[in-house]
Every structure is written in structure tokens, then in C-alpha cells.
Amino acid sequence: MRTQGRKNVHGKGGVRFKAAFTPSKYKAMLRNLVTELIVNEKVEVTLPVAKELSALADRMVTYGKKGDLAARRLAARTVRNVVADKNGNTALKKLFDDLAKRYENRNGGYTRVLKTGNRRGDNAAMAIVSFVD
């Protein structure tokens, strides 16, 4: 039996809108955010995104602590190739040189998520993701 409603939207009837993020767009957004977090060491996003970003950033620091070629290639799949400072160092170089050395004696928990309140426009819960000291 066919359903009533709009046709050919995700192959279902009755769907009134398309999803805002496809999986590829969501993955690209997380890649951009984890690169921004590595470069600036702090980023403000919505709370659900902050939780996923924190897990991804912790994984990248773990790759940085391993420090071998395989870990560098795994991290390079996620971290964008952007310049992190005035000396021309990239975000990947900062991850493997600076952040890995900072957390060499720490076993996990490299990021923190601090709730900041709700966004003015749409009342979405916001949070700041930053690296711990």
C-alpha cells in the first residue's frame, strides 16, 4: 500500500523536508571543526556537535602520541592541511609536535566540553570545546 504525501524524498511518502546534513556534509563539518580546534585550541559549537567533536579530537591526540607513519596517515585523513601559525607549520604538524608532547603522560581525556547557555537565534544549547591544560 502506498503512503500519501510528497513523493521521491528519500524514497518515502509523507516526508515534508529533506535532512539538512547528509553524512558526507556532517563528516566534512567535523573535519573542519577538529582542524579549527587543533589550530586555535578552543571552538564554540552546539552541544551535540561538541560531544562528537570531543571524541574525534581525543582520537587525533592519541594518533599524535603514537607518532609513527601509520598514525600520521590516519590523522591526515581527518585533519585538514591548513597553516596553523606564522612559521608555516600545518595543523597536522602542530598535532604531532606540540599537542602530543603536552599529553604524553596523560591517558585520555584531552578535551573538555563546557556548556555556555543557549544560542539567541534558535535557542540551541551551546558549548565550548577546548584542550585541557
CATH number at 92 reads 3.90.1030.10
Q: Is residue 16 part of a domain?
A: no
Region 1-21 average pLDDT = 56
Say how far apart CA 128 and CA 36 lie, in whole Å: 13
Which pLDDT score, from 0 to 100, does residue 133 have? 86
| Counted domains in the chain | 1
Residues spanned by the domain of 115? 23-131
Q: Is residue 35 part of a domain?
A: yes
For the chain, counts of helices (H) and of strands (E): 5, 3
CA nearest 129: which of 56, 15, 50? Answer: 50
Which pLDDT score, from 0 to 100, does residue 6 have? 54
pLDDT digit string, tens, across residues 111-131: 999 999 999 999 999 999 999
For the whole model, what pTM was predicted? 0.83
Which pLDDT score, from 0 to 100, does residue 110 have? 97
Region 53-82 average pLDDT = 97
126: cell is 551551546
Q: pLDDT class for 21, splitting at 50, 70, 90?
A: confident
Say how far apart CA 56 and CA 89 lie, in whole Å: 22
